[in-house]
Structures are given as C-alpha cells and as structure tokens.
C-alpha cells in the first residue's frame, strides 16, 4: 500500500506517495527529512540517510512528478520538469534512479520553489 507523504519546499507544499517497495519503505522509515536541496534543471535532489544499489525499478526514463533514489549520491530526486540532459519536456536523470514514488498533485508547482533553502519530506 502506498505511503502518503508531504513535500514542502520553500512556500510550496505538495502531496505525494511512496511506493510499496523495500527501498521506498526504507526511505519512509527515515522520515521526516529536512535539508537543503540541490537543483539540476527542474529537479531537486538531496542526500538522505539511505544506502542502496539499483533495484528492479531502476530506470533513466522518468516523468514529471516521479520521485527517485539516486544510488551514486545516496540521494532522493524529485523531478518537476526538464533537466540539463533532457531533449524534450520529460526529465532525464544523470544516471539510472530507482523509482520510489510520485507527486500526486501538480509537480510543476515546484518551479515556484527554485532557490528554496529547505525541503522537508514527511509522512502524512
């Protein structure tokens, strides 16, 4: 069963859900997480206290609103538009990410949070 979460970046708050996978469950167990996000195009990414290799969900094909785990940086990645590697409207991660969830609202609202000093991920 998906785990409902809330993402707050700057003044923007969105609902999301983490999938019913082992890795997503590990991430959920570490919530809440509050940190300073990095930006890469229309992607926020930030280190989290989770270690994992790529799993069966690993992909370089993500969509706006997807939430991934990027093993090389032990980081959560939240995609809300094109990244520097994109050739169209879809985001493209720097390398494969494990899909762990998705934003259930309008992910493009995160564009208003660019430059946010903090991002908080918490269970609802």
pLDDT tens digit sequence for 50-105: 999 999 999 999 999 999 999 999 999 999 999 999 999 999 999 999 999 999 99
**Average pLDDT taken over every residue of the chain:** 97
Q: What CATH architecture applies to the domain 3-123?
A: Beta Barrel (2.40)
The whole-angstrom separation of Cα 91 and Cα 75 is: 16
The whole-angstrom separation of Cα 84 and Cα 51 is: 25
Domain boundaries, the chain: 3-123
Q: Is pTM beyond 0.75 here?
A: yes
């Amino acid at each position: 069963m998906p785990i409902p979460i809330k993402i707050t970046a700057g003044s923007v708050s969105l609902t999301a859900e983490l999938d019913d996978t082992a890795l997503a469950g590990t991430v959920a167990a570490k919530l809440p997480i509050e940190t300073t996000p990095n930006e890469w195009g229309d992607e926020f990414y930030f280190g989290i206290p989770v270690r994992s290799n790529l799993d069966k969900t690993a992909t370089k094909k993500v969509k706006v609103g997807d939430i991934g785990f990027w093993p090389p940086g032990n980081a959560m990645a939240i995609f809300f538009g094109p990244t520097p590697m994109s050739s169209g409207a879809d985001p493209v991660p720097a390398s494969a990410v494990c899909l762990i969830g998705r934003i259930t609202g309008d992910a493009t609202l995160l564009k208003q949070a660019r430059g946010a000093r903090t991002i908080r991920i918490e269970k609802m």
